Structure 1
Amino acid sequence: MDKGSPKAILLKDYAAPAWWIETVDLSFDLRDGGTLVTSRLGVRRNLDVVRAPLVLDGQELELVSVTVGDRPLGPDDYAITPDHLTIPDLPGDQVAIEIVTRIHPEKNTALEGLYKSSGNYCTQCEAEGFRKITYFQDRPDVMAKYRVRVEGDRAAYPVLLSNGNLVDQGDAGDGRHWALWEDPWPKPCYLFALVAGNLVHIEDRFRTRSGRDVTLRIYVEPGNEDKCAHAMESLIKSMKWDEDVYGLEYDLDIFNIVAVGDFNMGAMENKSLNVFNTKYILARPDTATDTDFLGIEAVVAHEYFHNWTGNRVTCRDWFQLSLKEGLTVFRDQQFSADMNSAPVKRIQDVTRLRQVQFAEDAGPTAHPVRPDSYIEINNFYTPTVYEKGAEVLRMYHTLLGAAGYRRGIDLYFARHDGQAVTTDDFLAAMRDANPDAGVDWEQFRRWYAQAGTPGVSGEGSYDPATHTYRLTLRQFLAPTPGQPVKLPMLIPVSLGLVGPDGKDQALTLAGEDSATAGTRVLALNAAEQSFTFTEVPAPPVPSLFRGFSAPIKLSFDYSDADLTFLMANDSDPFNRWEAGQTLASRLLLGLVADRAAGRDMAVPKGFIDAMGATLSRASEDPAFASLALTLPSENYLGQLMEVIDVDGIHAARNLVRAAIGRTHRDALLAAYRANAEQGEFSVSPDAIGRRALKNAALAYLLAADDADGKALALAQYRTATGMTDVITALALIADSDMPERADALATFAAKWKDEALVMDKWFMIQATSSRPDTLANVTALLSHPGFNIRNPNKVYSLVGGFTGNAVAFHAADGSGYEFLADRVIELNKLNPQVASRMAKSFARWRKYDGERQAAAKVALERVAHTPDLSRDVYEIIARSLEG
């Protein structure tokens, strides 16, 4: 694998380019069999660096001609390699260059650059796709103004779109037409976009706070217009929220969204022309779940928010990716919290962080929020950059408060509008806007530089004689690949002290004159630190890291009684939920240990009673109750073990679920019936919460093999009109041995065979089943007419769904690993980005027992020795084997 290994790119090697490109005039002649791209560049020498040739990136391009000024260049006037075009001698310090290339979008299965899919042309240029369109300095710090002419067949491609405002259009003769788009704002080439196809649109308008009218359009394939209303509503909410909360206004006359079925990512924030995976646009109550509706709202907001955090201010280099992604994730999390239930949103975000980002931090692909190196940048669109990056932004907010955070954001935009900058520039804006904040910013910077999830442990003691409570906390950050030694982090600890009466006590630190009511934020900035609180009237139970104030793993000496008390009394909703999850994890892992030791697994009555108490209060907040009643996932429980016991975790979790279902059968049936759908369908927070609670109750009834539960599941599948209820019932039936299982799956597929996104759910249900025949079913589904290995959504649903299925993917015989290796090898030839995403499922193979490790290693080495392995897959496989 070492022979000819791709070379890593290092952050420390960053250097500004020798030439700047200031204007880009592009012309596309779209034709089957070969598209001609003419690029006219206004180039200026960078006088701040040593004189050097102009080196342009390019891949899979057929060079037709190069002209410098008025002089056509011959082959001896430039050097060309598979990756670069170098022009050694440019006259003067400013020059015009024209480059003509021919590309073949119809052959582009990688869906990167300009590609043709389902009869339509589309682009995806982030991170380095623009080099597959034309020769260019394909790096984010080269920002230029773009003018783009698109020409194509009028009948085949009636819609011609690019960035900016439409400034002209006309007839080109011979059944062809053209459109001219101009973007007045400088942008890096990764934000370039072009779409041409047979599309229809819905339209609305938004009036900005300064009184400008903006035209809003969502383009889809004909027949999907009736699934766009929620996305449009989400866009309008996003624009209004960004003005109200951040003071940011949209800056062009039109904002276009295009939804396409073949897309590697969820969506892309190209300036004024956002391209979306259909998954995050198309929704009707009968085709989309509540999760889909919420996901659309969040992703539409996320891509719109990029207009400022990513577009107007972008990242200097790809090591700074979290500068735009972490910040924008935090912004879309804030937005979703404001639009829906803030506690529920926080719990959902932390659940995802723990399941995917904590796992990444603990494996061979661990990397800092600002990585030090990469081989293929596509591999660093990771949970660490996005979700952990968002947690870093949240810590700014926690440490500075809402007002201080806003001062920092305002200064950031004032300083850097129109620039490509770094995470250090962002930190400097926060620091300079809050000079009296008392934050050690150099220590805070370690959140960007050190990989891994900090662990925080501690204990507390109460002195009744002095009415003081002493809290001692310790932090530890384990070695990660390339970082054997770690320094203490600055960790904000949001905490309260809950008294015996269930109420928050006033907080006065020793040496202070005044008390803080309820909750306060402490800074844990040493390896070990103690905090003494005075005037504490009675022994408290500490509520630590309220709202999950830092992305850490907490180990505190809570008793089971303490956790049960916090479940019932903590004023912080997140920590009420957290107490239940901690108690459940402790119980489940204890059962796993019992099983491994040959002891009987017995579910403690106290935990079952605590879950019953949560159920009894469910009507107060159904959405929160549905999460509080959900046990930690198998994958998360595995993270808490030194050696993951796949079968033990599965058995323990099923045992507890069945015990809850049997013990609280009547209460679960009552909760189901009380929250049955009433009136017109709605995606309001209350309606979503009621459906979530109803379906959580149904899941417990089926876990207990309850006859009434099975009947309710069948009735719900057959009569429900909303996809949330239909798909939940089908998933429960599909994971069971009910005789109606095969018929239910067949009737669903027959009804929805022409709805690609709905069929993705059908594939996912079968891929995530815990039945012993799951792998055989998944393998057979590869040949199903509705599955297409070239479509990323299909792969994510079937193959990705299977790799997330702990008990099936990690089968002791290695069959799951063998299956994944086959798919990675197949995808490597078609779509390296998707292949590498699937390959990441191997990353934590060393956490399993020896038999599984041996099987995983065989599969990894088989992939490693595949001829013509892409850079994307090579990097993931190499790091997994090295780790």
Structure 2
Amino acid sequence: MRTSQPQTIYLSDYKVPAYLVDTVDLRFELFEDGARVHSTLELRRNPESDETAAPLELDGDSLTLESVALNGAELAAGDYEDRGDQLVVRSVPEQFTLTVVTWIEPQNNTRLEGLYKSSGMFCTQCEAEGFRCITFFPDRPDVMARFRTRIEANKDAYPVLLSNGNDVEKGELENGRHFVTWEDPFPKPCYLFALVAGDLVEKRDTFSTCSGRDIDLRMYVEPRNAEKCDHAMDSLKRSMRWDEEVYGREYDLDIFMIVAVDDFNMGAMENKGLNIFNSSCVLASQETATDLAFQRIEAIVAHEYFHNWSGNRVTCRDWFQLSLKEGFTVFRDSQFSADMGSPTVKRIEDVTLLRTAQFAEDGGPMSHPVRPASYMEISNFYTLTIYEKGAEVVRMIHTLLGPDMFRKGSDLYFKRHDGQAVTTDDFVKAMEDASGRDLSQFRLWYEQAGTPVLAISDDFDAETGVYRLTIEQSIPDTPGQTNKKPQHIPFALGLLGQDGQPLPLQLESGDSGAPTERVLELTEAVHTFEFHGVESRPVPSLLRHFSAPVRVRYNWSREQLLFLMSHDPDGFNRWDAGQRLAVDVIQSLVGAPDDADIEPRLVEAYRKLISDTDLDQALVAKMLQLPSEAYLIELTENADVPAIHRARDSVLRHLAGALKGELIDCYQRQQDSGPYEVTPEAIARRSLRNTALAWLLMIDDEEGRGLAVSQLNAADNMTDRMGALRALVNSGFEADRRQALDHFYDRFQEDPQVVEQWFSVQASSDQAGQLADIRKLLEHPAFDWKNPNKIRSVVGAFAGQNLAAFHKPDGSGYEFLADQVCRLDDSNPQIAARLVTPLTRWRKFAPAYSAQMKSALERIRDKSGLSRDVYEVVHKSLAE
């Protein structure tokens, strides 16, 4: 058991760096048994630091130091100290050159931080603190320098040598080796450094910027993936054009490169000019990627490209400011995706993730503000709070200021801070200065953790025609924070009359020309708003577009929810009404007898949805998806997962049985005989058709079974193929399930990304993913413990999606997850720390489950030599 707690780092302790680095000159000698790194730094004392006599301290991790030289003279052993995690040079002048030579072993780097090997190629991941695994350096984002990088390697094995910036020199060396030198003209923190060396295929294109410059676009992939690059390249060009048109941001280098890597802890990385992507987030073809994958790739390509300005040209001062770049960029990529497809569906997808997973994070032991006050291991803070809630905070600023003023604010932010490392306060200040708005109270969104709760009540005075809405806000206590202050919350709403028509929102009597939607600004603990000229009691449409990341508590009747499902002009709230109605019905059945009555109006509501061909079919497909078990658990205290699973399953089967005819008609109506297209309309058709098929297979319908088998055999794209496979896997047709899985694997076994989908469809299914099945998948020849995608597709899918199987009453699922976390902690602690998350909410569950989850956490805690990553998560989860 660990005897000492890892060090906690506090925002309040921030100090400017004692030394600055102006230039970095790197030379990499790459070999099969390791790499030698020559680093030459031009340093000077920071005039803003009060540590005028401080020794030079450089960060390091897993490095073998070979030599240190100061101003060209090699230092004696007594002149410096190698502490393992630091290189300390005791006495240095005001300005000097330091040359450090280190030896590293990328081939043995299973942590996938710093420089490592993946599928025979060298690649890097330096965010957040990976650069210290390459060479000794002041590894912090507020030390920005210009980098020049020379890479030397065997030419036959590594013909492609890449780094940041522009390639300025290349040539041949002795013994079949060659080199390429790259120069990045823009100062950057070391976390944005990148290097790739391998035998890769290059795909090229060009982009003409708004000022007429031609940008050389390059994509590098393994030869077997050469035909999977077109969609990502097209997405990149759309992103570049959109960023010019919407934000006025033009690309600054002559070259933009993307590399696909199989073994990668994250989705992708925005290294300046050389983005490194997890293969699953960039490679796509009609045959191998689903519509969701195509959309995800477009969004991730956009996200990483947008970072060129919101993250690279303007970066974060310290890691507490991580949401400065991530929250802003997630908001930007969300805007982009909405413009490329259905804005309503995109909003639904974003909010579903937020309410299911981020709200859970907000209410759990790892709860933290968008700008955390402390951390032990920064890798644990690449969270939904930083990314998704951070994006919602930026979205609220956009809502409060309006699009024109927000654009003025972003222009000022980029102009004022170009080339700087700044804070979230600097971002908000730019918005204030551009708009003239006072956002001082709004800053609490960055400081206070937890999800605000809005308790809403209303009354209607028929005599005066006044409708009153009272909104009371509160924020639950979270670890380390109590008695929180009211926040500045934009609250969008509308009112619907009895005829379903929107009503003018008159805040004063006789307010002619009043809009039918308003954004109210909540700043006090309690607000009461009066709306005049209302003839009869309206139905409120609250928090339209999900204008703030809050929980709404309002006593809707089922009649009101049915009414909003049919009449609300806001597509998001129409979907939300359906979700709330389904939640109410499912919750009423938790623990009820098997023959309990199910709300008959639910069937009629869904019948109307399925038959409505005038409604956006993408929205219909979303509305037909019942609330997930994860969301239902999030809404429940002392959750009994098997009982929730049975109740949800009962409602789904009841609906599918009652609507069988309509589902078959819907399936046939959405057939598309034309060529495969990744357009919003085509995606909507396939989504609705596959949803109908999934419902039919839930009741083991023979006609549905025939449709699924036919679709699986005839499909010309992975969306329909996977839709049919998933439906069969989740059905009771065991022979068809096994045959379909075997045929699918036989066809795609040579494609790692498709095999990951094959793993996931089984691990996430309570029919095919019981614990014994999961153990078999871990023994499958295609499974690889060194590949994070494979681990996520089996262990992650089982614990995070197959909730009924994971939460077996005997606790076997918890013990299994603890075993895998302990195993991975020794090789890849970042992945281990993320996998442990399902156990951290143990207090959320019924006592019989929570005791066993806690026991599994304690077993992880007691593991010898526990990593900082896992220690922090487990320690906070078990804290009283």
Structure 2 CA distance, aligned partners of 1:601 and 1:618? 33
Name the residue aligned to 2:783: 787
Amino acid at match of 1:202: K
- Closer, same or farther: CA 511–323 of 1 in aligned 2, 3 Å: farther
Name the residue aligned to 2:201: 200
Look up the SS of the partner of 1:508 in the other structure: coil
Answering whether residue 16 of structure 2 is matched by residue 37 of structure 1, we say: no
Do the aligned partners of 2:642 and 2:807 also contact (CA within 8 Å) in 1? no
- How many Å apart are 1:665 and its aligned residue? 1.1
Do the aligned partners of 1:205 and 1:213 also contact (CA within 8 Å) in 2? yes
Amino acid at match of 1:243: E
Alignment partner of 1:750 out of 741, 746, 752: 746
- Closer, same or farther: CA 665–291 of 1 in aligned 2, 3 Å: same
Structure 1 CA distance, aligned partners of 2:2 and 2:228? 49
- How many Å apart are 1:284 and its aligned residue? 0.8
Deviations 1:435-472 (A, max 9, x none): 1x3x4x22211111111111111122121211111111
Look up the SS of the partner of 1:256 in the other structure: strand
Name the residue aligned to 1:334: 335
Amino acid at match of 1:861: E
Name the residue aligned to 2:473: 475
**What does 1:359-378 align with in structure 2 at a 5 Å threshold?**
359-378=360-379
Alignment partner of 1:760 out of 756, 779, 783: 756
Look up the SS of the partner of 2:129 in the other structure: coil
Name the residue aligned to 1:498: 496
- How many Å apart are 1:510 and its aligned residue? 3.0
Structure 2 CA distance, aligned partners of 1:568 and 1:641? 27
Name the residue aligned to 2:720: 725
- How many Å apart are 1:705 and its aligned residue? 2.3
Do the aligned partners of 2:510 and 2:533 also contact (CA within 8 Å) in 1? no
Q: Percent identity?
A: 53
Amino acid at match of 1:45: R
- Closer, same or farther: CA 295–701 of 1 in aligned 2, 3 Å: same
Alignment partner of 1:633 out of 625, 628, 632: 628
Amino acid at match of 1:646: V
Report the TM-score, using the length of structure 2 for normalisation: 0.98
Structure 2 CA distance, aligned partners of 1:461 and 1:710? 51
Look up the SS of the partner of 2:688 in the other structure: helix
Structure 1 CA distance, aligned partners of 2:813 and 2:171? 55
Deviations 1:281-329 (A, max 9, x none): 1111110000000000000000000000000000000000000000000
Report the TM-score, using the length of structure 1 for normalisation: 0.98
Deviations 1:810-836 (A, max 9, x none): 111111011101111111111111111
Name the residue aligned to 1:115: 116
Name the residue aligned to 1:797: 793
Structure 1 window deviating more from structure 2 (406-415 vs 699-708): it is 699-708
Name the residue aligned to 1:58: 60
Structure 1 CA distance, aligned partners of 2:749 and 2:118? 20
**What does 1:330-729 align with in structure 2 at a 5 Å threshold?**
330-435=331-436, 437=437, 439=438, 441-510=439-508, 513-592=511-590, 594-595=591-592, 600-618=595-613, 620-729=615-724
Look up the SS of the partner of 2:472 in the other structure: strand
Structure 1 window deviating more from structure 2 (323-332 vs 676-685): it is 676-685
Name the residue aligned to 2:224: 223
Structure 1 CA distance, aligned partners of 2:467 and 2:822? 59
Structure 2 CA distance, aligned partners of 1:671 and 1:359? 35
Do the aligned partners of 1:566 and 1:575 also contact (CA within 8 Å) in 2? yes
Structure 2 CA distance, aligned partners of 1:75 and 1:215? 47
Deviations 1:46-95 (A, max 9, x none): 1222211111000110111111112210110011212101112102x211
- How many Å apart are 1:513 and its aligned residue? 4.5
Deviations 1:79-123 (A, max 9, x none): 1212101112102x2111111111110110111000012110000
Name the residue aligned to 2:737: 741
Deviations 1:248-267 (A, max 9, x none): 00000000000010000000
Name the residue aligned to 1:822: 819
Structure 2 CA distance, aligned partners of 1:432 and 1:148? 40
Deviations 1:118-154 (A, max 9, x none): 1100000000000000000000000000000001000
Look up the SS of the partner of 1:326 in the other structure: helix
- How many Å apart are 1:633 and its aligned residue? 0.2
- How many Å apart are 1:2 and its aligned residue? 6.2
Name the residue aligned to 2:188: 187
Look up the SS of the partner of 1:522 in the other structure: strand
Structure 2 CA distance, aligned partners of 1:772 and 1:725? 20
Structure 1 unaligned blocks of 5 or more: none
List 4+ stretches of structure 1 deviating above 6 A. Answer: none
Do the aligned partners of 1:618 and 1:625 also contact (CA within 8 Å) in 2? no
- Closer, same or farther: CA 772–852 of 1 in aligned 2, 3 Å: farther
- How many Å apart are 1:618 and its aligned residue? 4.3
Structure 2 CA distance, aligned partners of 1:488 and 1:557? 23
- How many Å apart are 1:538 and its aligned residue? 2.9
Do the aligned partners of 1:766 and 1:774 also contact (CA within 8 Å) in 2? no
Alignment partner of 1:847 out of 841, 844, 849: 844
- Closer, same or farther: CA 184–240 of 1 in aligned 2, 3 Å: same
Structure 1 CA distance, aligned partners of 2:232 and 2:698? 36
Look up the SS of the partner of 1:620 in the other structure: coil
Structure 1 CA distance, aligned partners of 2:392 and 2:509? 31
Look up the SS of the partner of 1:867 in the other structure: coil
Name the residue aligned to 1:87: 89
Answering whether residue 139 of structure 2 is matched by residue 142 of structure 1, we say: no
Do the aligned partners of 2:164 and 2:195 also contact (CA within 8 Å) in 1? yes
Structure 1 CA distance, aligned partners of 2:336 and 2:634? 30
Do the aligned partners of 1:772 and 1:808 also contact (CA within 8 Å) in 2? no
Answering whether residue 46 of structure 2 is matched by residue 46 of structure 1, we say: yes
Between Structure 1 and Structure 2, how many residues are aligned? 876
Deviations 1:402-429 (A, max 9, x none): 0111111011011100000000100111
Do the aligned partners of 1:34 and 1:103 also contact (CA within 8 Å) in 2? yes
Structure 2 CA distance, aligned partners of 1:272 and 1:773? 42
Alignment partner of 1:863 out of 860, 865, 874: 860
Do the aligned partners of 1:864 and 1:878 also contact (CA within 8 Å) in 2? yes
- How many Å apart are 1:541 and its aligned residue? 0.9
Look up the SS of the partner of 1:462 in the other structure: strand
Structure 1 CA distance, aligned partners of 2:613 and 2:651? 19
Deviations 1:684-715 (A, max 9, x none): 00000000000111111112222111111111
Do the aligned partners of 1:242 and 1:248 also contact (CA within 8 Å) in 2? yes
- How many Å apart are 1:512 and its aligned residue? 8.2
Amino acid at match of 2:248: G
Amino acid at match of 2:353: R
Structure 1 CA distance, aligned partners of 2:511 and 2:18? 59
Structure 2 unaligned blocks of 5 or more: none
Name the residue aligned to 1:812: 809
Structure 2 CA distance, aligned partners of 1:566 and 1:823? 46
Name the residue aligned to 1:23: 23
Structure 1 CA distance, aligned partners of 2:296 and 2:173? 41
- How many Å apart are 1:867 and its aligned residue? 1.1
Structure 1 CA distance, aligned partners of 2:303 and 2:847? 43
Structure 2 CA distance, aligned partners of 1:673 and 1:661? 16
Name the residue aligned to 1:169: 170
- How many Å apart are 1:859 and its aligned residue? 1.2
- How many Å apart are 1:772 and its aligned residue? 7.8
- How many Å apart are 1:677 and its aligned residue? 2.7
Do the aligned partners of 2:200 and 2:223 also contact (CA within 8 Å) in 1? yes
Do the aligned partners of 1:228 and 1:281 also contact (CA within 8 Å) in 2? yes
- Closer, same or farther: CA 864–618 of 1 in aligned 2, 3 Å: farther
Structure 1 window deviating more from structure 2 (525-534 vs 683-692): it is 525-534
Name the residue aligned to 1:235: 236
Structure 2 CA distance, aligned partners of 1:250 and 1:516? 43
Amino acid at match of 1:269: E
Name the residue aligned to 2:78: 76
